[in-house]
Amino acid sequence: MGKTASRKAFGEALSELGDKYKNVVCLDADLSKSTMSILFKNKFPDRFFEMGIQEANMIGAATGMSFSGKIPFICSFAAFLTGRFDQIRISIAYANANVKLIGTHCGVGIGEDGYSQMGLEDLSIMRTLPNMVVLQPADAKETKEMVEWSINHVGPVYLRLTRQGLKDMNMDKFERPGIFPEVKKGQKVAFMACGGVLEYALEAAHNIAKEGKIDPAVFNANCLNPIDNAFMSMLANNFDEFIVFEDHTINGGTGGMIAEWMSENANRPKRVRRYGIRNIFGESGTPEDLYKFHGFTAPDIEKFAKKYLL
């Protein structure tokens, strides 16, 4: 079975849902062929707005549309969109505007375009904002479900999407944020992975389990905000060790969120190890070579986990 990029699944979902939700509009910053908002543009040209290379202006326009009863989806590369943090902070989050932010081309998985195009800090930035729901789907099906959930949620949502294809993870339907889908059952140790790294963390967990000493559970850490305290408490009560894998800086990302919660709220503080981009800039290369360089392949993840767990 082939893999589908979550950006493509987003474009398909929005164009499919356009008939059902007549007040949905889409704005893009001269990247519609890359963000795949072009699929909505082709079907609903009167509800699509090409803003040019002006993300800040796009944010302001979308905010105005939201207060006029529309549900705007604003699209750009994650690096470019979150680079307009001041406008997002005041116009969207502070105003609690009903705007959906689509940040594509996240992580080193985008490949040859290099660091200037890579969203490596976007989760750290967006999770600091009150009112902002922060989601990262792990496959095409979950992406489409999150798009429709976002339409029905009143308030701002940030959706982090990949350029590279994602394997179908066969998860239950996405119902609400804060509950991480369990993609592999296990004991004592939980791998928390997201986006493009999830399939490799799952493969590594299966390989480790075959050896019979440790049987890691694997969860799809698909949401950074809001945090579901009851669900996090369940994790803390059922597992002793957590390792978080993400194609994002380890500073303030998914690993940071889980480490913060576990250190402050668990009945007994739990060890959380963060595994991601370690305080360096990205570089250019094929997606495969960059995943090898940064240690996101299954053998690399397996080696790291065994170092601490065996």
Give me the DSSP letters along 90-103.
IIIIITT---EEEE
Say if residue 19 is in the same domain as residue 139: yes
Q: How far apart are CA 5 and CA 28, in angstroms?
A: 18
Which of the listed residues 115, 132, 166 is the one where a domain comes to its end? 166
Is 68 part of a structural domain of the chain? yes
Is 22 part of a structural domain of the chain? yes
Say if residue 101 is in the same domain as residue 211: no
Which of the listed residues 101, 131, 166 is the one where a domain comes to its end? 166
Is 176 part of a structural domain of the chain? no
Say if residue 101 is in the same domain as residue 216: no
pLDDT of 310 over the 80 cut: no
Q: Average pLDDT of the chain? A: 97
Say if residue 30 is in the same domain as residue 149: yes
Say if residue 131 is in the same domain as residue 189: no
Percent of the chain with pLDDT over 70: 100
CATH code for the domain of 50: 3.40.50.970
Q: How far apart are CA 26 and CA 13, in angstroms?
A: 12
Q: Does residue 12 carry a catalytic annotation?
A: no
Q: How far apart are CA 50 and CA 185, in angstroms?
A: 45
Say if residue 156 is in the same domain as residue 212: no
Is 10 part of a structural domain of the chain? yes
Say if residue 140 is in the same domain as residue 211: no
The structure tokens listed for 109 are 């998985």
Say if residue 13 is in the same domain as residue 117: yes
DSSP letter string over 175-195?
-STT---EEE--SEEEEEE-G
pLDDT of 199 over the 80 cut: yes
**Residue 263 contacts by C-beta under 8 Å, 6 or more apart in sequence?**
269, 270, 272
Question: pLDDT tens digits for 219-266?
Answer: 999 999 999 999 999 999 999 999 999 999 999 999 999 999 999 999
Helical (H) or strand (E) element with 242? strand 239-249
Say if residue 147 is in the same domain as residue 224: no
Domain that holds residue 285: 182-309
Spatial CA neighbour of 296 closest among 209, 207, 200, 221: 200
Tell me which amino acid residue 207 is.
Answer: N
Mean pLDDT of 179-203: 97
pLDDT band at 217 (very low <50, low <70, confident <90, very high): very high
Percent of the chain with pLDDT over 90: 97
Contact predicate 225/133, CB 8 Å: yes
Question: pLDDT tens digits for 178-187?
Answer: 999 999 999 9
Question: pLDDT tens digits for 86-128?
Answer: 999 999 999 999 999 999 999 999 999 999 999 999 999 999 9
Contact predicate 107/195, CB 8 Å: yes
Is 171 part of a structural domain of the chain? no
Q: How far apart are CA 124 and CA 112, in angstroms?
A: 23
Mean pLDDT of 58-78: 98
pLDDT band at 269 (very low <50, low <70, confident <90, very high): confident
Mean pLDDT of 44-61: 97
Mean pLDDT of 267-282: 93
Q: How far apart are CA 85 and CA 157, in angstroms?
A: 14
Q: How far apart are CA 268 and CA 236, in angstroms?
A: 8
Report how many domains make up the chain.
Answer: 2
Q: How far apart are CA 277 and CA 36, in angstroms?
A: 26
What's this model's pTM, rounded to 2 decimal places? 0.97
CATH code for the domain of 279: 3.40.50.920
Q: Which of 12, 55, 121, 145 is catalytic?
A: 55
Say if residue 16 is in the same domain as residue 127: yes
Helix (H, G, I), strand (E, B) or coil at 124: helix
Is 222 part of a structural domain of the chain? yes
Say if residue 300 is in the same domain as residue 234: yes
Which of the listed residues 132, 166, 200 is the one where a domain comes to its end? 166
Is 175 part of a structural domain of the chain? no
Is 135 part of a structural domain of the chain? yes
Say if residue 23 is in the same domain as residue 146: yes
